[in-house]
């Protein structure tokens, strides 16, 4: 009997999963699949905490699938090679999945679709991880909005209840709709088989955040000493362990500021889909040849939280220790690197990519470019966040700084790498000279 594979990627859940619901409604029994992509895994260090997170959730899904009367197939290898093998091992009707808008993922999916079509196997991909994707939000002239305000306004005007409705995947996830892996596939790769060791970092449960956090979100989100001052759902939205529609429904009901922040996510994914080259170069072509400083020792000090700017250092130390950083601390640390030190935002973007549990190419690049002032968005290059004023406003009692930089205020604490006024003037001058 022919079966359908449902290929999980950024959607590690069976509940409210658009592509899975479509697969379960299509007729053939469905076998969930996860591929540990050797190309993605190869450059990661053995203690990468994201692998522990992913592995844990894949195993949880396998358990849930088993309980429902089915199973989950997990393989490790290069994606095309894995599909070549699957075509030999299983009689496939179709492969269903959810869309991914990153340039490398689009290339990978195109190659997989081609391979499957050549074997008369269907390939279907669905919108799942955002409310509006690709060119679903356009200006009156039919162009992608490059300014967030305009994007968010149109997004909110065109959204209806139907856009937030849950897909019935959980209800359909029953024995009669499911296939089981062959006996030879019963064993799934362990973390060790994949070349990784367990490294747990705290993540909140994959459930909607507490009502009190959402209610006060607009008052608390900018104060990094408050835990949690924001939803902490970024890792779950990144890996799809929580449905974006579920969190958006809560935000729509309870906090318009939270809704607006979440729309940034759709905005940056839309921008990356339209302008994939901006993953590695400035959105604004005039900003592509800025004379960034080559200062490896200063960059290293920034990475390690030894810049002598306590708000920056607290953030970087929290990032290194926990894989998480509140938004305000991301802004302050990023701005200091690419403005006061005038070090290329791409180096900072890559460092965040290594460390953040919620790392997401579109959000990371989009935000870094927003901070650097190189983006398509209306953040000017001459806006420079002063870490001392930011501390006065957002960490007035030094609670956050004292937590992460205990030696602050003692002779042991690092001397500032750069005088803030000097760094600011230098950045403005280099931006003025380097802009084309």
Ligand X SMILES: Cc1cc2nc3c(=O)[nH]c(=O)nc-3n(C[C@H](O)[C@H](O)[C@H](O)COP(=O)(O)OP(=O)(O)OC[C@H]3O[C@@H](n4cnc5c(N)ncnc54)[C@H](O)[C@@H]3O)c2cc1C
Binding site for ligand X (CB under 6 A): 221, 230-234, 237-238, 261-262, 264-265, 268, 326-327, 330-331, 334, 352, 356, 358-360, 363-364, 367-368, 371
Q: Least distance (Å) from ligand X to the CB of residue 222?
A: 9
Pick between residue 264 and residue 431 the one whose CB is nearest to ligand X.
264
Does the annotation mark 386 as catalytic? no
Which residue among the candidates 368, 370, 381, 404 is catalytic per the annotation? 368
Does the annotation mark 292 as catalytic? yes
Pick between residue 180 and residue 232 the one whose CB is nearest to ligand X.
232
Does the annotation mark 368 as catalytic? yes
Does the annotation mark 345 as catalytic? yes
Q: Least distance (Å) from ligand X to the CB of residue 325?
A: 7
Which residue among the candidates 7, 155, 255, 261 is catalytic per the annotation? 261
Which residue among the candidates 7, 155, 345, 404 is catalytic per the annotation? 345
Which residue among the candidates 264, 273, 302, 370 is catalytic per the annotation? 264
Give the list of residues 6+ apart from residue 425 with CB closer than 8 angstroms, or none.
none
Pick between residue 167 and residue 232 the one whose CB is nearest to ligand X.
232
Does the annotation mark 364 as catalytic? no
Q: Least distance (Å) from ligand X to the CB of residue 89?
A: 36
Q: Least distance (Å) from ligand X to the CB of residue 68?
A: 29
Which residue among the candidates 59, 64, 260, 327 is catalytic per the annotation? 327
Pick between residue 172 and residue 312 the one whose CB is nearest to ligand X.
312
Q: Least distance (Å) from ligand X to the CB of residue 155?
A: 13
Pick between residue 93 and residue 367 the one whose CB is nearest to ligand X.
367
Active site residues: 261, 264, 292, 327, 345, 368
């Amino acid at each position: 009997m022919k079966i359908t594979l449902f290929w999980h990627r950024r959607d590690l859940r069976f509940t409210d999963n658009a592509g899975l619901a479509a697969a379960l409604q299509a007729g053939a029994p469905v076998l969930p699949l996860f591929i540990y992509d050797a190309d993605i895994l190869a450059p990661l260090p053995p203690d990468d905490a994201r692998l522990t997170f992913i592995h844990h959730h894949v195993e949880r899904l396998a358990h849930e699938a088993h309980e429902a009367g089915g199973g989950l197939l997990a393989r490790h290898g290069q994606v095309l090679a894995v599909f070549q093998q699957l075509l030999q091992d299983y009689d496939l009707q179709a492969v269903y999945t959810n869309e991914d808008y990153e340039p490398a993922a689009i290339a990978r999916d195109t190659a997989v679709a081609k391979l499957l079509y050549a074997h008369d196997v269907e390939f279907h991909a669905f919108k799942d991880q955002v409310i509006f994707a690709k060119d679903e939000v356009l200006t009156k002239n039919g162009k992608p909005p490059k300014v967030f305000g305009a994007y968010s306004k149109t997004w909110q005007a065109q959204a209806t209840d139907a856009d937030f409705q849950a897909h019935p995947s959980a209800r359909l996830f029953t024995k009669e709709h499911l296939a089981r892996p062959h006996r030879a596939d019963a064993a799934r790769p362990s973390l060790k088989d994949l070349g990784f060791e367990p490294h747990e970092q705290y993540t909140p449960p994959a459930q909607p955040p507490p009502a009190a956090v959402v209610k006060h979100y607009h008052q608390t989100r900018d104060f990094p000493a408050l835990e949690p001052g924001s939803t902490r759902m970024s890792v779950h939205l990144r890996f799809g362990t929580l449905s974006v529609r579920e969190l958006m429904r809560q935000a729509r009901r309870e906090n318009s500021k939270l809704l607006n922040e979440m729309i940034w996510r759709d905005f940056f994914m839309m921008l990356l889909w339209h302008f994939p080259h901006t993953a590695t170069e400035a959105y604004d072509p005039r900003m592509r040849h800025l004379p960034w400083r080559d200062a490896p020792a200063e960059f290293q000090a920034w990475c390690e939280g030894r810049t002598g700017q306590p708000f920056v250092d607290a953030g970087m130390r929290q990032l290194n220790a926990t894989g998480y950083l509140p938004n305000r601390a991301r802004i302050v640390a990023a701005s200091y690197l690419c403005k006061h030190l005038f070090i290329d935002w791409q180096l900072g973007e890559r460092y965040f990519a290594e460390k953040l549990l919620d790392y997401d190419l579109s959000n990371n690049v989009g935000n870094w470019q927003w901070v650097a002032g190189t983006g398509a968005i209306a953040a000017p290059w001459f806006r420079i966040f002063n870490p001392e004023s930011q501390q006065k406003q957002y960490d007035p009692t030094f609670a956050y700084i004292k937590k992460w930089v205990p030696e602050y205020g003692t002779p042991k604490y690092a001397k500032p790498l750069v005088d803030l006024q000097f760094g600011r003037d230098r950045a403005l001058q280099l931006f003025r000279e380097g802009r084309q």
